[in-house]
């Protein structure tokens, strides 16, 4: 427990220091990575800890993004209340999806979440008069402020992203230390046995999906607020695949694995694209090699081989 706390505090301290030491380019990249890692942590709650494979998490990311974006753009709502609207939209959508999708299991659950996500994407396009469809819209710089802090300032934006990331990290880390988190892991390992022991597995899966969707929505709202853009691309299928890749790369069922996977994937693409136009081939080769030789993901392999105490 002590080593686990030290690991998380050490990571947060390193990120705090990085904000002051990194050049502007990497500071901006890391701010984006922190927001996307929050999205991946939300996905990890459902997939890594509960064992439910979703292909529709982009709809929750998009719900948070459009909840905030539409409230600010068309309703004139200030940034902080709009962020709350984004969270509420993601939580409400995840609860509705949970009530319907959790009637299925296995591959059927995966397909149902994909269908819901595609419906959400088409809904965004259908109401293009408000959402601007694929083109999206830009949030005015003057509106992107909280308590007098200008979120368009690169340093303030970085620490705002770090604040959201830290909150998500603390929530997930704490969740895995209490009975609720242990029950989710038990469901992942053997749902039938967990049910026979007297646990309401359906209620736990419902809660896991709502928490997962709300964290994804927080990431979507943060992305819109910090980077000033809202677009349908973020509700497309590829943005449902990305968090799955990040979690698998970093280590499913580990607290800091989603961050490591997001960081690795982001800079792998960023670095290789600077050398060749065929960077996706290189990225694909690296992913195949990691899948073959590090099946538990980066942090999963570290935990399995060197540090079994890793959370």
For 168-227, how does the pLDDT look when each residue is reduced to its tens digit (9 = 90+)? 999 999 998 899 999 999 999 999 999 999 999 999 999 999 999 999 999 999 999 999
CA 249/CA 301 separation, integer angstroms: 10
Share of the chain above pLDDT 90, in %: 75
Tokens of 100: 């319907």
Tokens of 168: 């998500």
Tokens of 307: 């540090």
Q: Quick check: pTM over 0.85?
A: yes
Q: Out of 24-33, 186-195, 299-308, pick the least confident.
A: 299-308
Q: With 80 as the cut, is the pLDDT of residue 1 above it?
A: no
Kindly provide the b/e burial profile for residues 7-19, where b requires at least 16 CB atoms within 10 angstroms of the residue's own CB: bbeebeeebeeeb
Closest CA to 254 of 196, 199, 187, 301: 301
DSSP secondary structure string, 31-51?
HHHHHHHHHHHHHHIIIIIT-
């Amino acid at each position: 427990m002590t080593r686990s706390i030290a690991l998380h505090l050490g990571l947060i301290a390193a990120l705090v220091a990085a904000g002051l030491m990194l050049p502007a380019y990497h500071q901006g990249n890391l701010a984006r990575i922190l927001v996307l890692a929050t999205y991946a942590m939300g996905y990890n709650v459902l997939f890594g800890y509960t064992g439910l494979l979703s292909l529709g998490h982009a709809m929750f990311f998009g719900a948070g993004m459009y909840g905030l974006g539409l409230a600010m753009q068309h309703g004139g709502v200030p940034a902080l209340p709009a962020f709350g609207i984004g969270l509420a939209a993601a939580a409400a959508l995840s609860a509705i999806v949970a009530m319907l999708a959790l009637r299925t299991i296995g591959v059927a659950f995966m397909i149902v979440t994909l269908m819901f996500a595609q419906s959400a994407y088409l809904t965004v396009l259908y109401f293009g008069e408000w959402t601007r469809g694929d083109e999206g819209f830009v949030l005015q710089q003057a509106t992107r402020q909280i308590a007098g802090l200008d979120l368009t300032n690169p340093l303030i934006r970085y620490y705002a992203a770090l604040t959201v990331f830290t909150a998500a990290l603390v929530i997930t880390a704490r969740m895995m230390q209490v009975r609720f988190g242990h029950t989710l892991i038990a469901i992942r390992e053997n749902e039938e046995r967990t049910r026979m022991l007297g646990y309401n597995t359906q209620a736990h899966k419902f809660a896991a999906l709502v928490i997962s969707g709300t964290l994804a929505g927080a990431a979507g709202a943060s992305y819109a607020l910090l980077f000033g853009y809202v677009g349908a691309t973020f509700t497309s299928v590829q943005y449902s695949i990305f968090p799955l890749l990040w979690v698998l790369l970093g280590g499913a069922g580990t607290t800091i694995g989603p961050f490591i996977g997001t960081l690795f994937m982001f800079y792998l693409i960023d670095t290789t694209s600077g050398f060749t136009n065929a960077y996706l081939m290189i990225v694909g080769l690296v992913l195949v090699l990691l899948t073959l030789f590090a099946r538990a993901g980066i942090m999963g392999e570290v935990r399995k081989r060197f540090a079994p105490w890793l959370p």
